[in-house]
Amino acid sequence: MKAVIGVTTCFDSNTGRFFISRAYIKAIYKNGGIPIVLCPIHKAEMPFVLDKINGLLLTGGGDINPLIAGEQPCKNIGEISTLRDNFELSLTRLALRKNLPILGICRGMQIMAMSAGGTIVQDIKSPICHMQKSPRYVKTHTVDIKKNSQLFYICNKKVIAVNSFHHQSVLTCGKNFRPCAFSEDGIIEAMENKSHSFAMGIQWHPENLYKTNQCQNNIFSAFISEAENYKEEFKNV
């Protein structure tokens, strides 16, 4: 059966517009999934929406409001949308409880960590550039993948090159998550959940690399395949 994948969107509070990069949509289509775009809804309605999808893709985008973690904003804080933050955090907590397959990309990985009680770094200090100015399909730094991780099994490589468009990163992964890839400066570049069939966070943007890189496409194919086989199972998280 085809998997319906709920995809979260960016929100521009200045113009009142929701928007999303087509690359996510195409990557889902290419791997046999059916994407549907999810806009923020009330918490009481989230279980109803989650019942309609087989997988959740948390997309990239702006920064997460530091006040949610009880922190003051640093000087380099980017654009934030508390509407989007609250929606994605609540939805992800519920999706984790249902064991719904979840792929979190860039900001989406950070949302996943926070929804599991993890923490993020507001502004990375590193000699490695994590906010590249090159086009999105250009790979600019390497990541080292932990052997015996789900990601290693998916990529079948120990070291891969990736693109990088983040100035925030995951500091602690949250309950049941563990880091599974690092850049050379020790930044967590991917994480996965030990007690979940597929809940993976990727700090780079595989949706801009999947066309030419088998390993990057495998991230989507593994996610969609889990979504196709998804059977609801409640977890005590």
Among 9, 31, 163, 164, binds Mn ion (CB under 5 A): 164
Our CB check for Mn ion shows the closer of 142 and 172 to be: 142
Our CB check for Mn ion shows the closer of 209 and 227 to be: 209
Query: Shortest Cβ distance from residue 128 to Mn ion (Å)?
Result: 7
Tell me the per-residue interface mask from 3 to 42 with Mn ion, x by CB under 5 A, - otherwise: ----------------------------------------
Contact status: 84 vs Mn ion (CB under 5 A): no
Query: Shortest Cβ distance from residue 166 to Mn ion (Å)?
Result: 6
Q: State both tokens at 29.
A: 């289509």
Our CB check for Mn ion shows the closer of 5 and 109 to be: 109
Q: Are strands 4-8 and 34-38 parallel, antiparallel or unpaired?
A: parallel
Cα distances (Å, whole numbers) of residue 116 to 90, 120, 142, 172, 193: 10, 12, 27, 10, 10
Burial call 154-188: b when 16+ CB within 10 Å, e when fewer: bbeeeebebbbbbbbbbebbbebbebbbbbeeebb
Site for Mn ion in 105-144 (CB under 5 A): 130
Q: State both tokens at 193.
A: 């959940």
User: With CB under 5 A, what is the number of residues at the site for Mn ion?
Assistant: 2
- Taking each helix axis from N to C terminus, what angle separates 82-97 and 107-115, rounded to the nearest 10 degrees? 60
Q: Which residues bind Mn ion (CB under 5 A)?
A: 130, 164
